[in-house]
Structure 1
Amino acid sequence: MEDVTKDVDVTEEEVKTYYEENSDNYRTNAGAEMAHILVKTEEEAKKIKAEYEAGTSFEDLAAKYGTDGTKDRGGALGFIEYDSPQYDADFLAGAKNLAEGQVSDPVKTQFGYHLIKVTNVQKEAVTKSYDEVKDEVKETVKEQKSYDIFNKKLDAWKSDMKIETYEDRL
């Protein structure tokens, strides 16, 4: 494949066209960087929130009280879109209306009770500009073009060599 596609290049116009046709791939919906502390009871969550309000850092509290794997990362979950299907709807509803840096009251989900902290809040969807993703888009276009060229060459070889594939026997 490397030999067949070694001379593949893409034009600026191809890259721009791909970006324009696929700009949704470079969009981030509304959401925030989230961290949480998950515990079993509402009473535990309230006690932890009181410690936070008394000045203990959220990260330290997550490490001390958290009951899931995020406790080793200060409860950090990363950037989560508010409409993410991968997270509990009650959890997202509890996070959605928080202001920058705010920690929620206890939020009940199927997993227990969470204290949720949000940072880098993004209230609206944002599409990265062409200049921000130009190199990434160029690599994507080049990769697709390479696969197309290779597959055409492979089909030509199969035809020239009269190779037959018996799909029912695979």
Structure 2
Amino acid sequence: MSLNKPKTWKVLLVSLAAALSFSILSACSGKAENAEDTGTAVATYEGGTITAKEFELDQKIMKFLNPQQAQYLEIEAFREPVLKQEVAFEYLSGKASPEAKKEAEKEVDIEIEKMKKELGEGYESILKEQGITEAEIRAYMVRILTVYQDMMLKVTDEQVKTEFEATKGDFTVATLRHVLIGLTDASNKERSKEDALKLANEVKTKLEGGADFAATVKEYSDDTVSKETGGEYKDKNLGTFVEEEFKKTAQTLPLNKISDPVETSLGYHILKVESRTERTFDQLKAEEKEAIKSSLATKSLESFMEKELEGIVKSINLPKSSAAPEEQGGANNGAAATPAPTAAATQEAPAATAAAE
């Protein structure tokens, strides 16, 4: 169990889950009769089409790059939103600058070499088994990253500074300790919120009474990441914590004071902030400024998908999925509950931008 943001490929996998999910509930493939002919257009958009064969290939590549999300591509309710996302990348890549494409090609070369190294001798056989080629994977990734790089190039220095000021607290560096009383205990048994809060208050009382924090963490905490370090997160940017209430408390709690129980999706936390240093824009590292730019680029992409994509799409002609009715019913239930990933759960909607880390 971790409080930190999960690592992703170019951040897009996480943030695009929300952008993809916006149309999940209304997703319906009832418009199509059949598209057995792989040359049939399953999507028509302003300036182009995507054929059944092209969409099938894209899905194969998605499954290869992100096996943990392959299950979603078999679910009826996700197919139309995924196809629309593919339309977005086809459309935007066609309008991207040559500079963006050049940068994307450089980055894809690096990513493919990483894949080859990770998969070793099995690389070629895996591609053959999946029915895809390296050239097809490369073309897919270049398309996705061309869009992303184009968005990045449009972000100005002034926008980066403005975003920093708006999210300044995320760049505050703090050393803190916490005890997590989770909604499941160490033996993986469920714990009610009432029981968790009661135990959290007991822990708070002990700590206020002078109990050793590290010893208390080892006895009570359900945070497996920090348990062996006495609950300590040392010199962390507070923006690395995904739970808003946790982050807010860490930004405002007086130093060395024991907090009241702080409720998050993980359970209840008792915090003590040992040091906290606010930073100016000039004190940011180059990679931190780049991360802000990345965030702004991703927001621009999400905004396009939410506000402009529907106007680009002319028609969707997906065939009926072969999924069983009960699977489709389950998909609708799951779609309603699909969140952007958190530290506790990373059940993302399938994203065309995913790649192996």
TM-score (norm 2): 0.27
SS at match of 1:99: coil
CA RMSD of aligned residues (A): 2.6
Match of 2:283 in 1: 127
Distance 2:223 2:255 in 1: 24
Amino acid aligned to 1:122: T
Does residue 30 (structure 1) correspond to residue 172 (structure 2)? The answer is yes
Alpha-carbon shift at residue 49 of structure 1 (Å): 0.6
Amino acid aligned to 1:121: R
| Contact 2:218–2:230, Cα closer than 8 Å, also in 1 | yes
Structure that is richer in strand per residue: 1
Amino acid aligned to 1:38: L
Distance 2:252 2:173 in 1: 10
Structure 1 residues 132-143: aligned runs within 5 Å: none
Alpha-carbon shift at residue 62 of structure 1 (Å): 0.7
Distance 2:217 2:264 in 1: 17
Match of 2:239 in 1: 83
| Contact 1:63–1:72, Cα closer than 8 Å, also in 2 | yes
Distance 2:178 2:268 in 1: 10
Match of 1:44 in 2: 199
Distance 1:76 1:105 in 2: 18
Amino acid aligned to 1:96: Q
Distance 2:256 2:278 in 1: 14
| Contact 2:208–2:258, Cα closer than 8 Å, also in 1 | no
Q: How many residues align?
A: 103
Distance 1:115 1:105 in 2: 6
Which consecutive unaligned segments of at least 5 residues does structure 1 have?
A: 1-23, 129-170
SS at match of 2:246: helix
Distance 2:202 2:279 in 1: 33
Does residue 62 (structure 1) correspond to residue 204 (structure 2)? The answer is no
Which consecutive unaligned segments of at least 5 residues does structure 2 have?
A: 1-160, 162-169, 183-195, 285-357
TM-score (norm 1): 0.53
Identity %: 26
Larger Rg: 1
Distance 1:54 1:33 in 2: 22
**1:42-66 deviations in whole A, cap 9, x for unaligned?**
1111100100111101111111100
Distance 2:244 2:232 in 1: 18
